[in-house]
Structure 1
Amino acid sequence: MRGTFCLVLHSHLPWLAHHGRWPVGEEWLYQAWAQSYLPLSAMLRRLAAEGRRDLLTLGVTPVLAAQLDDPHCLRGAHDWLAGWQLRAHSTAGRLAVAADEHRRSAAALREFEEHWRHGASPVLRTLPVELLGGPATHPFGPLLDPRVRRFALAEGLTDAVWRTGSRPGGIWAPECGYAPGMEAEYAAAGVHHFLVDGPSLHGETAFARPVGDVLCVGRDLEVTYRVWSPRKGYPGHRDYRDFHTYDHDSGLKPARVTGHQVPPHEKAPYDPARAAAQVERDAADFVATVGARLDALRERHGRPALTVAAFDTELFGHWWHEGPAWLEAVLRALPATGVRVTTLAGALADESLIGEPVDLPAGSWGSGKDWRVWAGSAVTDLVELNARVQETLLAAVDKQGGGFRDRILDALATQALLALSSDWAFMVTTGSTVEYARERAHRHAGRVEELAGLLAAGRRPAAEHLVAGWEPAPFGQLDARVLSRTPELSPRPC
């Protein structure tokens, strides 16, 4: 065996349900659902039918899993898929991609109607993957009060049990955010392994490394960046579909990349056959890259080693139209070259793939590999807002006590965790939908302040009336009493 390869995918969208449509809101969800989650689940099912198991490690953040199970979103997704097919039909005879769009929309509708009508949870239970867990609403952990951080993780792991029937042993912490000491919280929560970015290990990613009582696994950037990096990668090839060029009458994407300096109106029509040929070339290149990397690591360390490639799931299909086809080709080809393909849990069961303990520094997978995206000068106001949200939440919970379950406190905690999502700071720092991100952060924070004020004033009927007017929350089972327990929080029984 040349070595072990693990593919890790991280599926995440912020809580968007019932929050409007394009350019933000449910349109984001439905696009990713149709173009990434449906084709990937169909591909994994095909490979499983051939007897292939433990194909990859998949993280679905609890806030996304809640949307994929939500009846409102399920109805909306079905409508969106039907609309996609109608849009494809409307371009027949006008766009060269009309037939291809018809085939893709028909396949997506069939996949949704046969497997997804009852939500994502039944699908996730049957896929040949390892499922990762994580905090409930994707907060940037290092910036949280430790009590809130432990609460978010405990509730996220509990949510995974509710949806999939088992508690994850591994996590992909939001943004790969880490601060020394968090490993003790992971161990207390029953987490066995977590992912970090390669620079946190100074590029020494050939083996999992003990950090306290848990294992960290590093993303191998030498392999990962072959696919997608800040500056280059396969999806930018001239023969692949251009993500940014639209036919404005239908909303479809009829052009290929053609060239990065070519204006949209001059781009060549998309040709599925040309794209398919490039998929084969890029899959072969990646397989060769993984093999060469593992051969070099084996020669360097004197034993087979590990390489981990990790990406956002939405890269495959949504951002990169041909991504699912490329991924299927890679997963089929790698084992034939002597590379073991497995999950993180499968790899870590092999003690030879565990190296020496490491003192892990603070870090993330964001720009600079530090915390600047979520704590930099562009988001000082959001950092201060988050601090007030946490202070208000903890004061309310401590005052009310942790006896009988209180649905009003549950609602308060839910709004606090939504306010603390890392997405808002990311959008502001990167200049993406800045006004939307700030509005969402302040909306949830404002609800925390208003509801906590009513509770402090003893105005419970008014608090109940206020909560009743809010849109449904993602976590109906979230239990604020967990915040009142001992510092060593454990996931509560389901």
Structure 2
Amino acid sequence: MCDATPVPGQFTLVLHSHLPWLAHHGRWPVGEEWLYQSWAGSYLPVFDMLRRLADDGLRDVMSLGITPVLAAQLDDPHCCASMYEWLADWQLRACEAAVSREDTRRVLGTREYRSAAAAMRDFEQHWRHGASPMLRRVADSGVVEILGGPLAHPFAPLLDPRLRRFSLSEGLADAHARWGRRPRGIWAPECAFAPGMEAEYAAAGVGHFMVDGPTLHGDTALARPVGDTDVLAFGRDLQVSYRVWSPKSGYPGHGAYRDFHTYDHGTGLKPARVTGKKVPGHAKKPYDPQRADAVIDRHVDDFIAHIRRRLIDESARIGRPALVVAAFDTELFGHWWHEGPIWLERVLRRLPEAGVRVGTLAGAAADGFVGEPVDLPASSWGSGKDWRVWEGPQVSHLVQLNAEVTETALAALDKLVVPGAGRNRVADQIVRETLLTVSSDWPFMVSKDTAAHYAVTRAHTHAHATREIVDAALSGRDREAQRLSHNWFRADNLFADLDARRVPPAMAAGRAESI
């Protein structure tokens, strides 16, 4: 057990929930299956945990980012119906394993059937008609601070300023429409930053955002106002965050935890534990939840002890109570790390018992965990902590594609959007397809060689849609442009409230860039 003597400062956990738009763009091995696996593995148990914490009276336990493009999928009727079918299929696959003559597979099937049935009940009760009603209740309970973000998760520093500001303002408006609140904090896609973006955040009403630790040169013990604005940058403490998961190590790699990569190919279930880093899949031992449970507790105690030491050391270093921020992708907890949601709940419950104050980013700002102003460098949380993942030579073709499509789209908007005129659905769809083209996910997947072909195909699909709509619209083929816009919109059914009239005009963008 950890020492329970109170320590100075505050610990803040931040989770970033994001997937690119996957609906109607393939199913397996990449496509909607990714959404449903993450939904079942991470979003269901994490929000179930938050509801329990709220019911037990806990408040301000963490900050939770949900990107607009993920929120749209969790509300989408097609995705909700398909998720229900996915859960039913999980039950059927588990049932098949449960009646096997082979003992290990039968035990696996019985355990998975119970998990699938519980997930189905949770989904029917809380998610069946979309995530937003449930998310509103969680947010209204005060258990979390909800963070927003730009509309379709672009790598903002490389995006034309007009689209960058539009994407952010629309993303915050989308959050307000879904959850009845406009977030004051955001998780910028990829924690990417370019000098000057703080002014855009201030103009959009953003009060705080996340950066990676090296952006603040590792000094993350306090939030920092950026430039001459009041916008605060919170830095991810890598010493603490990497304790859980880093590019090289972390708790999920323990031999007792369920192995993510090993499947029972007859049922698609995951039967094995990690066993060892160099053990091939066929030689891995069967997963044992009881064995894993004891390890979870050890890792909870280790993490809490590490937070205590970090708070004590950082508070002594800066001469005042310090802030420690650990930040992760939500999908780590459950989807990638099966035991992650259990570990997470135990950590959040035990931290106060161990003398650690827990709070949100907004709470930290309100309570004065703020240092001196700082000028931030160009940065991200990707490899090298710079922009190489999104603009390196391996993705130069996507960088060029994004620039060409953006230029084409904005030039078309300047001709199609008439001041004072009504809404132009053709222009709306041009903007929508452009934002889907420049999603940060596509270059990331190429750079990391994770479904690179899928990523390139997606980028070029949306680029093609942009170009053919623009071509028809600017060639005077109005009916064809309307038909194309209607059909491409129906293909995704995404962000119906997007209005191209709100894209800043070219002259206004030019004035802003000169400031």
Normalised to the residue count of structure 1, the TM-score between the two structures is 0.97
CA gap 1:488/1:53 in 2 versus in 1, 3 angstroms: farther
Is structure 2 residue 28 aligned with structure 1 residue 22?
Answer: yes
**1:330 shift after superposition:** 0.1
Q: How far does residue 405 in structure 1 lie from its aligned partner after superposition?
A: 1.0
- Does the 8 A contact of 1:193 with 1:215 survive in 2? yes
Residue 48 of structure 1 corresponds to: 54
Task: Report the CA distance between 1:459 and its aligned residue.
Answer: 1.1
State how far apart, in whole Å, the 1-side matches of 2:115 and 2:162 are: 46
Q: Which residues of 2 match residues 258-277 of structure 1 at below 5 A? A: 258-277=275-294
Q: Secondary structure at the match of 1:309?
A: strand
Going from structure 1 to structure 2, the CA distance change for 1:104 and 1:488 (only over 3 Å counts) comes to farther
1:259-408 equivalences under 5 Å are: 259-351=276-368, 353-400=369-416, 401-402=418-419, 403-408=421-426
1:86 to 68, 73, 92: 92
AA in 2 matched with 1:276 = D
| Deviation for aligned residue 1:306 | 0.3
CA drift at 1:180: 0.1
Deviation at 1:103, TM superposition (A): 2.1
Alignment partner of 1:215 out of 232, 237, 257? 232
Aligned partners of 1:477, 1:468: CA distance in 2, in Å? 14
The percentage of aligned residue pairs carrying the same residue is 63
**Contact persistence 2:161–2:509 (CA under 8 A):** no
Match of 1:105 among 116, 123, 128: 116
Q: Distance in 1 between matches of 2:244 and 2:114?
A: 26
Q: 3-state SS of the aligned residue for 2:326?
A: strand
**Partners of 1:395 and 1:473 in 2: how far apart?**
25
Letter in 2 for 1:479: D
- Aligned to 1:341, the other structure's residue is in SS state coil
Shift of residue 145, structure 1, vs aligned partner: 0.9
Q: Deviations over 1:94-134 (max 9, x none)?
A: 41322221221111111100011121111111222111111
The secondary structure found in structure 1 opposite 2:12 is: strand
**Are 2:151 and 1:121 equivalent residues in the alignment?**
no
2:196 matched residue in structure 1? 181
> Residue 44 of structure 2 aligns to a residue in which SS?
helix
State the superposition RMSD in angstroms.
1.2
Say whether residues 1:73 and 2:79 are aligned partners: yes
Aligned to 2:502: 482
- Which one-letter code corresponds to 1:59 in the other structure? G
Count of aligned positions: 488
In 1, the alpha carbon distance for the partners of 2:273 and 2:32 equals 26
Rounded Cα–Cα distance in structure 1 between residues aligned with 2:318 and 2:397: 47
Letter in 2 for 1:204: D
Q: Partner of 2:358: helix, strand, or coil?
A: strand
8 Å CA contact retained: 1:398, 1:484? no
Aligned AA for 2:315?
R
2:172 partner letter: L
CA distance in 2, matches of 1:448, 1:440: 13
Q: 2:162–2:509: 8 Å Cα contact kept in structure 1? A: no
Aligned to 1:451: 469
Question: Residues of 2 paired with 1:218 and 1:360: CA distance?
Answer: 11
Q: Which amino acid aligns with 2:449?
A: G
* C-alpha distance in structure 2 between counterparts of 1:119 and 1:346, whole Å: 29
Alignment partner of 2:503: what SS?
helix
The one-letter code of the counterpart of 2:176 is V
> In the alignment, what sits opposite 2:431?
413
For 1:300-332, what per-residue CA distance to the aligned partner results, in whole angstroms no more than 9, with x for missing partners? Answer: 122211000000000000000000000001001
Contact 2:166–2:504 (CA under 8 A) maintained in structure 1: no
Distance in 1, Cα, partners of 2:13 & 2:212: 14
2:266 counterpart (231, 249, 252): 249
Instruction: Read off the aligned partner of 2:477 and give its amino acid letter.
Output: R
Contact 2:188–2:210 under 8 Å retained in 1: yes
Q: Which runs of 5+ in 2 are unaligned?
A: 1-6, 511-515
Q: CA deviation at 1:451?
A: 0.5
| 1:146 matches 2:161 | yes
Q: Which runs of 5+ in 1 are unaligned?
A: 490-494
Partners of 1:253 and 1:487 lie apart in 2 by: 54
Give the superposition deviation at 1:484: 4.0
CA contact (8 A) 2:66 2:146 kept: yes
Q: 1:492 matched to which residue of 2? A: none
8 Å CA contact 1:414–1:473 kept in 2: the answer is no
Q: By how many angstroms is 1:390 displaced?
A: 1.0
Match of 1:62 in 2: 68
Could you say what secondary structure the match of 1:5 adopts? strand
Which residue of the partner structure matches residue 442 of structure 1? 460
